[in-house]
Structure 1
Amino acid sequence: MQLMAGTHFTQVSKWLGHNTFTLTLDTYGDWIPEEDGGAGNNLPEPTDLPMTPNAQPSNVVPLFGKRSS
């Protein structure tokens, strides 16, 4: 939805946690409007998860036990 709304693909890539923006473009590139500049973005930005300073988000989902932060 963010890409269709005109949000730049590098920003969407960061939100999704992709290592490279090319993964975002390969996967979701068809959703980017072809018109020059795309549509005006009127969607809210995704909220950030609380993290410690300089911590990298993890894509690991615990199967058992408590979540580690």
Structure 2
Amino acid sequence: MATNLDLTGATWRKSSYSGDTGGECVEVADLNRHIAIRDSKDPDAGALAVTSHSFTAFVTAAADDLLG
């Protein structure tokens, strides 16, 4: 996990599955060596940054769990 990353100018995006109704969404930003993750409802609360390998493992595990 990375600390003290400068997120100024980061391009944040959220899943197309999130829709426009608010909901329980996270946003991600590709920082080359890390992926930053934040709560879309409270973007000023801070962000978690993980390696791209860790993020890929998380997304894969989440998709596997959803697909059963």
TM-score range for the pair, normalised by the shorter chain length: under 0.3
The answer to which structure has the higher strand fraction is 2
Q: Does 1 or 2 have the higher relative contact order (CA < 8 Å, sep 6+)? A: 1
